[in-house]
Amino acid sequence: MKKKILIIFFILSFLYILWPFINIYKFYVAVKKSDIEFFTNNINWQSLRSGFKDDLEIIIDKKIGKKKNIEKQLLKTLLGNSLIEIILEEIVSPENIVLLLNDPKKYNEMLKKEIDNPKINKKKKNIKKEKFNFKGPNLKRIREKVNYVFFINLNTFRIDFNHDGYPIKVDLKFTPFKWRLYKIYLPVDLLVSKL
């Protein structure tokens, strides 16, 4: 009886450990296919926006830090929370998350334009779905790009990788019976240096 319980426990533990890896693969395929619907349904948007808001405030502070004192005060007065919210609405969307993960350089350009010239009520971009053909894992490339991929606690899984010279960390969090993208840590210092 104890042996059966141990076997069941081992199988369930193995499946729980394997589950986020399967979800990472699904996210990877969704990025390559530009599957906006998948991202819409598998991201915790509130926590993602909150994390991006923190990063965006740091980016704007550092960008303002390069200005003279009078310009700093004027820009800080003008750049209130409402402007940050407008920028967040534009940069934290399923289309732009796909852009960030597919082409960080274009995302950086879009971020720079949005910080310099935020606009209300922009038209949503239509991204057409791409076809994806699985060619098999390139283990050498995976080892070169991925720094860390495993649990950081029982309900949070992290993948830390480099993409086109940009270090990106992504957390998946287990919510009732589903792993969802919870937070993307932007390389703030690198982004500021390129703005």
Structure confidence by residue, pLDDT tens digits, 98-108:
887 777 778 77
What is the model's pLDDT at position 180?
92
Determine the pLDDT at residue 66: 57
Q: What is the pLDDT of residue 74?
A: 63
CA 85 to chain centre: 18
Q: Are residues 140 and 76 in contact, defined by beta-carbon separation less than 8 angstroms? A: no
Task: Tell me if residue 193 falls in helix, strand or coil.
Answer: helix
- Token readout for 34 is 């530009």
- Report the residue count for the chain: 195
Segments of the chain with pLDDT less than 70: 63-83, 115, 118-139, 194-195
Q: What local confidence, expressed as pLDDT, does residue 75 receive?
A: 60
Neighbour-count burial of 191, counting CB atoms closer than 10 A to its CB (0-12 exposed, 13-18 middle, 19+ buried): buried
Q: Average pLDDT, whole number, for the chain?
A: 79
Dist CA 153 CA 19 (whole Å): 14
Angle at 92 between CA 87 and CA 95, to 5 degrees: 120
Residues 6+ apart with CB under 8 A from 71: 64
